[in-house]
Amino acid sequence: MAKITISKNLCKGCGLCVEACPKKIMQVSKTASNDKGYFVAECVDMSQCIGCAFCATTCPDCVITVEK
């Protein structure tokens, strides 16, 4: 199983990772925001992650890491 880590204080909540995820397990949170006021991306079901790292490669700010 893969592990997704998101640097929440650097995330701008652009949603590109949400669109890139083939399993549709990423979402922009409706409640969790960072210090800058952005609603941040989060993985809603880590057990479904296949470790493709599409989320990490599409992130313009490089705040997502995927470990297998």
**Exposure of 59 by Cβ count < 10 A (0-12 exposed, 13-18 middle, 19+ buried)?**
buried
68 residues of the chain, pLDDT tens digit each: 899 999 999 999 999 999 999 999 999 999 999 999 999 999 999 999 999 999 999 999 999 999 98
User: What's this model's pTM, rounded to 2 decimal places?
Assistant: 0.91
What DSSP line would sit under the chain, residue for residue?
--EEEE-TTT-----HHHHH-TT--EEEEEEEE-TTSPEEEEES-GGG-----HHHHH-TT--EEEE-
